[in-house]
Structures are given as structure tokens and as C-alpha cells.
Structure 1
């Protein structure tokens, strides 16, 4: 086995995993598909393990590929930070972040204050939207990095955290006792919404949509008013809500994968924020 990794090959492997295929990775890196394929094959030969699987859903990492990609991201981040520091690039400028608003309070609020104090020359620009809308905007260059709820069919980026989805309702109200469960959900385009409805259908649980919003505050306001229930990620549950489950005849739900996607030519500020975000989201959360 060779004593050192080819960092360019690792960069190609990460690009293929994050974009879902060789065509998109080629466009992102400005390299031919064949060149990328050859370099990744060299990595596979070096390690004696297959790193990528091709299917009709696209190209996905194998278990060995996932493990290597985790190491690769850290190695590439160190390389870019060293180049930025030794090349005289200051950690300054504007850092544009796209994120669904239900993750802001749970993860970014303490991180933003700390990062701003440590990097006073960086201007943070935060834009909240649905993950489905954020990903193409990142690809178009409107964000430097993004935190998204991954599409289970075509996941993008590295997994920061897996969050269980929990049924909740207001204290002092029992909307779950209605014959047809009254629901407040995120607007069309939310990646959890069709899966929540499918879980209710599969369980034969009658339901009706009574409120929808593109923002967490809107959904939670409706639930707190007492006339409906919703399902949100565990870290986003306010202390004033009560959790529901099998005792209320509600079906078990699923986990959402929270992903980090970094733009193709990240600044030193983007890389440092990404690392701080990894550390913040890896920390255990106290139950609400």
C-alpha cells in the first residue's frame, strides 16, 4: 500500500459523492469524467476496496467509501486552511449560508455568536428556506455552504446528524382525539411532508391538513394554539409542547439526515465555519 493519499483523488471522490455522479463532479471540478474515474480507480487499487457503487439512483459510496470520505473531508479542509494561511488569505469577507429555519435555533444560534466573536472580519449572511430550494441555489453559487435535510433518494453532502421526527401537540389540548387527525405541516416541497403523510396512510390513521407554513414559527404557532398536531425534528421541539406516540394511536416516524454541503471553492471562513458546525452538531442534545 502506498504511504500517502493523493489529495486530488480524494477531492474527486468527495465531489462524486456530494454531486451524485461523475457528470456533475466533472462540471464542478473542471476535469473530464474519465480522468476522475481513473483517479478513483487508483484509490480503490491502493486500498484494495471498492469505494463507489453505480445504480439507477446514481453513484453512491460503499461502506468503505463513506469511511474514506469522512477522512478525506478533514484532510482537504486542513490542506485548504494551510494554503489560505500561508498564502496570506485572511479569514474575512462575506460568508453566505443556506439553512432551513428549524435548524437555526437548534444549532446555529450559539455557533453564530461564537464564530462572530472569533472572526470579527467575517460578515455572516443567513438565508432560511426549504432544503429543496437551497440545494440548487448553492449549485448556482448563491451560497458558500448549506445545511439541508437530505433527500433520501439522492442525498447530497456529508451527514452531520440524524434527527428523529417526533409527533407533538400543545399542553392542555387534545387535538389527537379528533376522528381525523388535524395536521400542521411545512409547505409543499418539504422533504418530510410526503413521508409523514405516507406513514399515516400506511397505519390507516385518518387525517386532514388544517394548516401549512414555510417557516417553523408558523407551524409551531398553530400547534401551540391547540387545534392541531405536527411532527418536527427532536432538537426543534420547544419545551412547551408534549410528545405523542403509540399511546395516542400515532404511527412511528423516521429519522431525517441533516447534511452539510460546501461550495466548490470554499474560502477559509467557510471551511472554519463548516468545522465549527460539525463540532456543534455532533454534541449531544438535551431532551425538551
Structure 2
């Protein structure tokens, strides 16, 4: 029997969507191991890894960057998410909902808007996926999200809707030595 503590870090979006299933399976297969979970932005999780405050962490990276020593688990398109039947993407300037500085999805979205010369304003800012979803579903703004995060009440907006391509991101895992 293995005993001890595993200190796990995860970005908010994966903490909400993926970790409950993973942690349940881990608890069943390793009942004598306690798991301490930290939910934070990837840049902060990387710092915690460097400070040896975490044993394993998930990180989101833009398609242009990769974390040193990270294993890429998933590469996925980032899309502009809008409310189903919504019109936020038609407003001028474009109202966008974004995460805080340091977010890979934010950087890609702002780069894409700049590349296309699209006028925008940050209408909503939240460091949590639930906040982003609220802004989208209320049709207050559009937001960059991984394609797999779209729910039934959201649609992917593309070139036909006047929205620029954002690119992809990586979900990576770093394990302490």
C-alpha cells in the first residue's frame, strides 16, 4: 500500500471539467494517498512547480509556447464562443470576455483581433470559466474557448461571422523530479 500526499495543480477550466472524474478514479485506486489540489492560472502553477510546492500540474500553453519539461496531453482549437442565436459578435466595437493577463487563450484572441484590425473592447473579465460562460450565455460578449468547452447554448463563431481564427492551445502536464 502506497501512502502519502500528492500535491496537484490545475487551471480553473480543467479543475471544473476534468479533475472530478480523475480524482474519483484516483481515490478508488489509491485510497491511502491524500490529494491536495491547487486551482490557479498556469503562470502561477508553473511558479509553484519551480518552488517545489506542487508534485504534478496541468498547464495551458499557447500553440507558440511550451513549458520546459512538459508533456503535451492535448492540442485543441480555440474558437470564438457566442450565445446560440446571439448578436454580440455583430456589435462595434466587439465586446469580448477574457481571462487575466498570462492566459494562453487571451493572448491568442487578442493577437487574432489585432492581426485582423478588429475593434474590440473588454466588456467582461473573469478568471473563472463559469464567469466566461455567464457573459457568453447572456450575449454580453464573445470569448475564446477550447472547442470542447462549447455547450448546447453556445456556438462557435468563425470567418463567416466576421471572427478571426485564433489557433490552438496545448494542455500539458509537468511532473516534479
Please, what TM-score do these two structures have when normalized by structure 2?
0.92
Do structure 1's residue 110 and structure 2's residue 21 form an aligned pair? yes
| Structural mapping, 1:80-91, within 5 Å | 90-91=1-2
- Measured after TM superposition, the shift of residue 105 of structure 1 is 3.6
Do structure 1's residue 186 and structure 2's residue 99 form an aligned pair? yes
Deviation digits for residues 95-140 of structure 1 (CA, Å, limit 9, x no counterpart): 1111111112433222211111111111122111111111011111
Mapped to 1, the partners of 2:4 and 2:96 lie a distance apart of 43
Q: 1:145 to 1:133 in 2, by over 3 A?
A: same
Do structure 1's residue 126 and structure 2's residue 37 form an aligned pair? yes
Deviation digits for residues 187-230 of structure 1 (CA, Å, limit 9, x no counterpart): 11212212211111111211111111111111111212211110
Equivalent position of 2:159 in the other structure: 246
- Measured after TM superposition, the shift of residue 154 of structure 1 is 5.0
Higher Rg of the two aligned structures: 1
Mapped to 1, the partners of 2:152 and 2:84 lie a distance apart of 10
Hey, which of these two has a bigger chunk of strand by percent? 2
Report if the CA contact (8 A) 1:106-1:235 is conserved: no
Report if the CA contact (8 A) 1:96-1:145 is conserved: yes
| Structural mapping, 1:210-249, within 5 Å | 210-249=123-162
Deviation digits for residues 49-98 of structure 1 (CA, Å, limit 9, x no counterpart): xxxxxxxxxxxxxxxxxxxxxxxxxxxxxxxxxxxxxxxxx322211111
**Candidates 120, 136, 139, aligned match of 2:47:** 136
Equivalent position of 1:87 in the other structure: none
Report if the CA contact (8 A) 2:106-2:144 is conserved: no
Mapped to 2, the partners of 1:177 and 1:185 lie a distance apart of 18
> Any stretches of 5+ residues in structure 2 without a counterpart?
none
Do structure 1's residue 177 and structure 2's residue 90 form an aligned pair? yes
Question: What is the count of residue pairs matched by the alignment?
Answer: 175
Please, what TM-score do these two structures have when normalized by structure 1?
0.58
Higher relative contact order (CA 8 A, sep 6+): 2
The list of structure 1 runs, each at least 4 consecutive aligned residues, that deviate by more than 4 angstroms after superposition, is: none
Do structure 1's residue 98 and structure 2's residue 9 form an aligned pair? yes
- Measured after TM superposition, the shift of residue 164 of structure 1 is 1.0
> Any stretches of 5+ residues in structure 1 without a counterpart?
1-89, 265-288
Report if the CA contact (8 A) 1:103-1:236 is conserved: no
